[in-house]
Structures are given as structure tokens and as C-alpha cells.
Amino acid sequence: MFTSNLLKSAVCALALLDLTQATSPEDVLAYPDFAQTMQVAGFNYQWQSFPVTTSTGYEIVMFRITADPTGAPLVPTKGPVLLLHGMFSDPLDFFSQDDLTAPGMPVQLA
């Protein structure tokens, strides 16, 4: 599935981390578009960012949804889901929705 051992390791590490912290102010400043989307389409769920540099030098950022809007940590019942957007799109495309009363797909999967 993955050609990069670094990405494999990063996804495995994210699955094992105890991420019960709320969204940090540093993440909100660094990723304002994602923060705003998480407030609206993400129903204010908490998240964290994880910058990764691949073995080929690409710098990517992985986001993990960590807690519900009250700050209660999400209890994992299954393994992680890695959503990869295509060329000419970005992570915010996963939050496009027709039903504005339901959270975006990443929050539903979390």
C-alpha cells in the first residue's frame, strides 16, 4: 500500500499515541483554513497536526482528530484511516457536504 516506510511508520505511530490534548493555539495559527473548517464543518472537534518529511524530501502534514467538542477523547474502536486527497485538491475537500446538519466525513469516520 505505502511505498514509503516513513509514512507507514508515521501512520502506525499516530495510531498508538495517546492524543487526548485539545487543539493547540500553535496549530490554529499554523493552519488557519483547517482550523476554521474544523470549527464549522468539523463541529468543533479537537485535532492535532503532525508534520512529516518523507525520505524523498516531501514535506507533508498529517492531521488527527483527537477529541469531541467537549474535549472528551475519542475512544478508538478500529485502526486509523488515512485519507489522501488527489492532485489539485486539499484536505478541506473532504469536508464538502450537502447536509449541513451532519459533520464532515473525517469527523464521521473518527
Domain range summary for the chain, segments of one domain joined by +: 5-109
Report the run of H or E that residue 53 belongs to, with start and end.
strand 46-53
pLDDT score for 78: 83
pLDDT at 52 over 70: yes
Least confident of 72-76, 91-95, 103-107: 72-76
Instruction: Find the mean pLDDT for residues 56-68.
Output: 91
Q: In the predicted model, is pLDDT for residue 28 greater than 60?
A: yes
Ramachandran angles phi, psi of 99, nearest 5°: -95, 105
Grid cell at residue 38:
474544523
**pLDDT computed for residue 81 by the predictor:** 87
pLDDT of 13 > 90? The answer is no
pLDDT of amino acid 11? 61
Q: Hey, which residues does 65 pair with through a beta bridge?
A: 47
